[in-house]
Amino acid sequence: MKQHAIAGGLLLILTACATQNTPSPGHGVPIPVAFAQLPAGDTEKLSTEWWQGFRSDELTRLVASGIEANPDLAIAIRRIEQAEAQARVAGAPLFPVLNFNAGTSRGQSRASGAGNFTTTDATSGSFSASYEIDFWEKNASNARSAQASLAASRFDFETAKLTLVTGLANAYFNVLSVRDRLRIARENIAIAERVLAVVNSRYKFGVASALDLNRQETALLSLRATVPPLILQENQTLAALALLLGRPPQGFDVAQNSVTTLGVPVASPGLPSDLLLRRPDLASAEAQLFAANANITAARAALLPTISLTGSLGLSSGDLLSFTNPTRSQSIGATLLQPIFNAGRLQAQVDLTVARERELVETYRKTILAALADVDNSLAAAGRNAEQEALQEQVRDRARRALELSELRYKSGADDLLTVLDAQRTLFSAQDQAAQVRLSRLQASVAIFKALGGGWRNPAVMKNPAPSYPAD
């Protein structure tokens, strides 16, 4: 008996070890000590309300409204509620199950050939309890997996919120940029009309040719043709902004008309290692990996024996709705269940969870690499766009001066109309390009805040074990 007990104990130890994950060969991503691109000039500390750095009260109000009413955020909240309920479901097997059962009945029976029915009454009531001993941590692992999935859903909400705010900011800037371009187009139309008046006057006095008059009319019509597409784009961007706010696009509008009055904040990126705690999508990927790791333990434990304890205590009586002279009963027992043959289903479940974890390991690595690239790309774009905007403003100023000089020379007869037409086209292109570069610079600033996690910090860093694989 002693030898059998020792052998049984060793068997339990070995099978318990089989449920533990073996250390992985290492799947860490090398984190650089600094970002390849660093912002030039002044930077500001990353804040959870980073959009206020653009110095637009209207944008601040729109962000608050969007967080309150956006349908995608509402969907994410409902998913959190589902995950919370699932976590409670998964944690329930860690506790005993208690049941109460009561019943009463009356029956009548008559033997064949007998004259009267025999009445039988019965009343019973019982308490029962059952509990599965979680030797191999199957139930605890399922609970840990559900808690990790709940954490992932909360991180997904933060990701959705960050995506919403950046989308709102970009849509808002798009509206204002299109309005800038519309204003530029109309200003150039006014310039072309002024030049047309000069050409028409010279034509009447025989100084200008009909060809010059036709050329200027064509230039004016070309400028007017740029207005309808811009109006359509303004309507479309306003509709997109309204949808992000959870509002119908009909009748929706914003008050501001230009991006030139907005600030262009640039956040300090900090250290690349901090990025792992700043981005909710990375936290979600890590939580999903933790859940998969716990699922492996649960799947392996399903291969091992299950021990359950049961007990009951009851009363029964031969009376209807009464416990007169009751019969008392009680029982206690234990059951052992060991899977023997299931056509490989349980082992296949282990293989499935292991493969799922390996997939999530690679997904986590990919997400980290993409996050590092996002920060560098957005920092580089912000720096180059700032340089481009400064140069484009110089181009615009010189193009405006060139048009003024060409008009004076045309009026005095020193130059022909072609010079004026070329100056008009150059100015319109330079102004329109400057407006688009300003938009790109604002969008690059938004991209920096998004890449850095928008000021979010992981409130509770999950201490999960290293990703692991079963021994081959």
Tell me, rounded to whole angstroms, the distance of Cα 471 from its chain centroid: 35
Percent of the chain with pLDDT over 70: 90
Q: What is the pLDDT of residue 169?
A: 96
- pLDDT tens-place string over residues 209-231: 999 999 999 999 999 999 999 99
Confidence band, pLDDT 50/70/90 cuts, at residue 122: confident
How many other CB atoms are found less than 10 A from the CB of residue 350? 19
Q: What is the pLDDT of residue 7?
A: 41
Residues 118 and 110: their CA atoms lie apart, in Å, by: 6
Say if residue 1's pLDDT is above 50: no
Q: What is the pLDDT of residue 470?
A: 37
Residues 127 and 131: their CA atoms lie apart, in Å, by: 14
Distances in Å between the Cα of 259 and the Cα atoms of 42, 169, 242, 245, 352 are 20, 12, 19, 20, 53
Range of weakest confidence among 107-121, 194-208, 257-271, 437-451? 107-121
Say if residue 40's pLDDT is above 50: yes
**Cβ contact 301:137 at 8 Å:** yes
DSSP per-residue codes, 96-112: -EEEEEEEEEEEEE--T
- pLDDT tens-place string over residues 229-281: 999 999 999 999 999 999 999 999 999 999 999 999 988 888 888 888 889 99
Higher pLDDT, 470 or 124: 124
**Mean pLDDT score across all residues of the chain:** 86
Q: What is the pLDDT of residue 471?
A: 37
Distances in Å between the Cα of 340 and the Cα atoms of 12, 163, 281, 298, 344 are 16, 50, 42, 18, 10
Whole-structure pTM over 0.85, yes or no? no
Amino acid identity for residue 240 in this structure: A
- pLDDT tens-place string over residues 390-421: 999 999 999 999 999 999 998 888 888 899 99
Distances in Å between the Cα of 29 and the Cα atoms of 37, 127, 199, 292, 369 are 19, 56, 68, 19, 8
Q: What is the pLDDT of residue 42?
A: 61
Question: Which of 95, 117, 96 is closest to 108 using CA atoms?
Answer: 117
Q: What is the pLDDT of residue 6?
A: 40
Q: What region does 470 belong to: left with phi over 0, alpha with psi -120 to 50, or beta?
A: beta
Compute the average pLDDT of residues 430-442. Answer: 95
Say if residue 461's pLDDT is above 70: no
What domains lie within the chain, and their CATH numbers? 27-95+136-304+344-469 (1.20.1600.10)
Q: Where is mean pLDDT largest: 67-76, 108-117, 198-207, 374-383?
A: 67-76
Confidence band, pLDDT 50/70/90 cuts, at residue 113: low
Say if residue 370's pLDDT is above 60: yes
Residues 6+ apart with CB under 8 A from 420: 195, 216, 403, 406, 407, 410
Q: What is the pLDDT of residue 408?
A: 92
Confidence band, pLDDT 50/70/90 cuts, at residue 447: very high
Structure tokens at 204: 């009447």
Q: What is the pLDDT of residue 445?
A: 93
Compute the average pLDDT of residues 95-117. Answer: 83
Can you tell me which residue has the tokens 């009454």?
Answer: 121
Higher pLDDT, 240 or 2: 240
